[in-house]
Amino acid sequence: MTELFASLDTPCVLVDLDRVEVNLKRAQAHADKEGYALRPHTKTHKLPRFARRAEELGATGITVQKLGEAEIMADSGLKDIFLPYNIVGPLKLARLKALNTRVSLSVTADSPDTVAGYAATFTPDAPLTVLIECDTGAGRCGVQGPAQVLALARQIIGAPGLRFGGLMTYPPLHNFSKSCAWLRDAVDLLGDAGIAVQRVSSGNSPDMWDANEAPVTERRPGTYIYFDRFQVQEKVASFDDCALTVLATVVSRPTSTRIVIDAGSKTLSSDLMGMSGHGLVVGTDYLVKALSEEHGVIEMPEASDWPHVGDRIRILPNHACVVSNLFDEIVLVSGDKVLERVVVASRGRVD
Amino acid sequence: MTELFASLDTPCVLVDLDRVEVNLKRAQAHADKEGYALRPHTKTHKLPRFARRAEELGATGITVQKLGEAEIMADSGLKDIFLPYNIVGPLKLARLKALNTRVSLSVTADSPDTVAGYAATFTPDAPLTVLIECDTGAGRCGVQGPAQVLALARQIIGAPGLRFGGLMTYPPLHNFSKSCAWLRDAVDLLGDAGIAVQRVSSGNSPDMWDANEAPVTERRPGTYIYFDRFQVQEKVASFDDCALTVLATVVSRPTSTRIVIDAGSKTLSSDLMGMSGHGLVVGTDYLVKALSEEHGVIEMPEASDWPHVGDRIRILPNHACVVSNLFDEIVLVSGDKVLERVVVASRGRVD
């Protein structure tokens, strides 16, 4: 018997291109049907080729989460980039200014300090588009209510080098409607003040199949290109939709129930996403129970000869995005066939 | 007021060289006093320069955890490398064979299958040194008892291309004595069979200040070069001993108690190590309460003006080793002075 993917050393990341295509197309069809602009978050894959492919299928542009990722995507020819982040400090503002001359760029702000930084950096000849980040319940960044939205919109509109770009939120999980209600209040208040809101951008993959609601005009799911164990748990996808798996080798069978593989937290990350276990052994219901950096430990409920030392197994990780960030390259496959190795261009762009 | 480390963009990893020196010397002094060979684990820093520095101070050689790390260290001139891992499969065995001609190399095995792979690969002209990995309670890899040790030692000794190198364990946390008792039983059984054991290698940083015990001849702590929040919790080090911190910028102050920084799980990892929180704000008792990939959220117990958007703070991570693996380079500092940027040579060597 030929070993699974014998030409590949392990651990490595397999991405099934057929599943990627299906996932991209299904999301675009949903966006088309529901009438919102799809702006996929590229942090999941960090690959310019998949960013371009989504645009070919109808995406309005892309999303990145760090300035360094935006720079890589711009270098690779992507032209419409949303960076929903507060860009702060002279070093980053200088980089942002340079980038803004190369691509159609938009960013966010959630404080007068952040807007002041943008206002002091940009000029009317190459204005920066700024959306206001709204905390609609997720408890991360974002202004806390419509009155703050209005104040910040006035500050942006009053700055000659800035363009008011609309509103952005990272919605609380499974509360898309609640988030939309928050945003409607803000849009209404802005409307009363004579400020039009043309773009309202929301996440995310767990809520991607929800019908669209006003005032959202754009959505930024990311994980849907690969899906993962968390998305399956959230009933966004089935196991068969998951495109990214980790190929690992069994390096030890210390007991009749314990399997140790060569994929640890350096491969799978230690993201639990509120679940138990660090990943699922594909084709079984065995979980990776414990991780150290270079080992994954699986405990089977009953003694078993299978698998042997040297056997290869595939792991569905809890969280696909963080796995992409741990590998210099991924391997594109179609079923059991290896297609191509691809460098993860914006891996490790932490700033 | 000049902002902290104004020349550096954030997030970035600061490593205080003065503290590194103190930590390296203190560990070597302990090894010298207790009479064991120190073989530092380089997975913590992944930097050939610190591997060399430890050897200059008296270390007997180095430890790595993946074959790819061993290759990088060999490329950088390190000559005595211990890879305490089961190396399995034709691709890795070919790489191991090539490496074994370049450096003084030793590896481990915990199964007849792994030994058979080594035996089929190596020849008497360039034999491979193989230690037997023993599960003395940590529940990861390793043979389960002395009888298995004896059987595996016989298999190694019977293979013309292999040298029996002794025993290795990754001891259960704070059970060094229990682990030593296990190993003594194994050494005694081997002795009864006429097999001498010259080297017995144990971890780890949490137990590094324990007095040495027979039969251990060598210890492989790693994290002690930097220490981290976990090591402080384990009372192995003080906060002032910690050499690695993450410099982060406050990007949002959504509420009077919430701080959001530009360091998330892509920077700090999501390793909890059984603790609550994802890192400590240096100089405070505030914890990073929640992480997403690019954001860290800190909740202060009381409303505070400090810090402002744009301020920089330093975070002591839970686990230093995994942070090293997330950065292409670290910044050497001395107190508040920037010394040099250093590429993390063996970052991302997952296989």
Q: Given this model, what pLDDT does residue A1 score? A: 41
Measured distance CA(B221)–CA(B27) in Å, rounded: 9
Q: Given this model, what pLDDT does residue B2 score? A: 55
Measured distance CA(A241)–CA(A20) in Å, rounded: 8
pLDDT (tens digit per residue) in B9-45: 999 999 999 999 999 999 999 999 999 999 999 999 9
Topology at the third CATH level for domain A36-225: TIM Barrel (3.20.20)
pLDDT (tens digit per residue) in B246-276: 999 999 999 999 999 999 999 999 999 999 9
Chain B CB contacts of A9 under 8 Å are 89, 91-92, 351
pLDDT (tens digit per residue) in B281-294: 999 999 999 999 99
Structure tokens at B282: 């240096």
pLDDT (tens digit per residue) in B304-334: 999 999 999 999 999 999 999 999 999 999 9
Chain A CB contacts of B110 under 8 Å are 252, 254
Q: Which residue of B has its CA nearest to A66?
A: B294
CB contact under 8 A, A297 and B139: yes
CB contact under 8 A, B9 and A91: yes
- φ, ψ of residue A330 to 5 degrees: the values are -120, 165
Q: Given this model, what pLDDT does residue A279 score? A: 98
Give Rg (Cα) of chain A. 22
* CATH match for A229-343 among 2.40.30.10, 2.40.37.20, 2.60.120.1360, 3.40.50.150: 2.40.37.20
Residue B130 has pLDDT above 70, yes or no: yes
Closest Cβ–Cβ partner in A89, A140, A254 for B135: A254
pTM over 0.80: yes
SS3 readout for chain A: CCCCCCCCCCCEEEEEHHHHHHHHHHHHHHHHHHCCEECCECCCCCCHHHHHHHHHCCCCCEECCCHHHHHHHHHCCCCEEEEEEECCCHHHHHHHHHHHCCCEEEEEECCHHHHHHHHHHCCCCCCEEEEEEECCCCCCCCECCHHHHHHHHHHHHCCCCEEEEEEEECCCCCCHHHHHHHHHHHHHHHHHCCCCCCCEEECCHHHCCCCCCCCCCEECCCHHHCCCHHHHHCCCCCHHHCCEEEEEEEEECCCCCEEEECCCHHHHCCCCCCCCCCEEECCCCCEEEEECCCCEEEECCCCCCCCCCCCEEEEEECCHHHHHCCCCEEEEEECCEEEEEEECCCCCCCC
- In the DSSP assignment, the letter for residue B194 is T
Q: Distance (Å) from the C-alpha of residue B9 to the closest C-alpha of chain A?
A: 6
* B283 burial via Cβ count (<10 Å: 0-12, 13-18, 19+): exposed
Q: Distance (Å) from the C-alpha of residue A319 to the closest C-alpha of chain B?
A: 11
Residue B337 burial (CB count, 10 A): 10
* CATH match for B36-224 among 3.40.630.30, 3.20.20.70, 3.30.750.24, 3.20.20.10: 3.20.20.10
**Which of B96, B293, B349 to probe by mutation at the A interface, max A CB count within 10 Å?**
B293
Q: Which segments of chain A have a pLDDT < 50? A: 1
Measured distance CA(B2)–CA(A7) in Å, rounded: 54
Q: Which residue of B has its CA nearest to A255?
A: B144
Q: In the sheet where B104-109 sits, what is the strand order? A: B37-38, B218-219, B200-202, B162-169, B128-134, B104-109, B80-86, B62-63
Cα angle A308, A335, A259 (rounded to 5 degrees) comes to: 20
- Counted across chains A and B, CB pairs separated by less than 8 A come out at 173
With a pLDDT cut of 70, the percent of chain B lying above it is 99
Chain B CB contacts of A3 under 8 Å are 89
Residue B142 backbone zone (phi > 0: left; psi -120 to 50: alpha; other: beta): left
Does this complex have an ipTM over 0.90?
yes
Residue B237 has pLDDT above 80, yes or no: yes
> Residue A300 to residues A48, A263, A295, B148, B172: CA-CA distances in angstroms?
40, 17, 16, 22, 21
pLDDT (tens digit per residue) in B47-106: 999 999 999 999 999 999 999 999 999 999 999 999 999 999 999 999 999 999 999 999
The residue ranges of DSSP E strands in chain B, in sequence order, are 12-16, 37-38, 62-63, 80-86, 104-109, 128-134, 162-169, 200-202, 218-219, 244-252, 258-261, 279-281, 288-291, 296-299, 312-317, 329-334, 337-343
Chain B CB contacts of A86 under 8 Å are 251-252, 309
Residue B4 has pLDDT above 90, yes or no: no
Residue B184 has pLDDT above 60, yes or no: yes
| Domain extents in chain A | 36-225, 229-343
Q: Given this model, what pLDDT does residue A4 score? A: 80
CB contact under 8 A, A295 and B9: no
- φ, ψ of residue A262 to 5 degrees: the values are -85, 20
Q: Given this model, what pLDDT does residue A2 score? A: 55
CB contact under 8 A, B293 and A139: no
In whole numbers, what is the pLDDT of chain B averaged over residues? 97
Measured distance CA(A157)–CA(A149) in Å, rounded: 12
Closest Cβ–Cβ partner in A66, A140, A254 for B142: A254
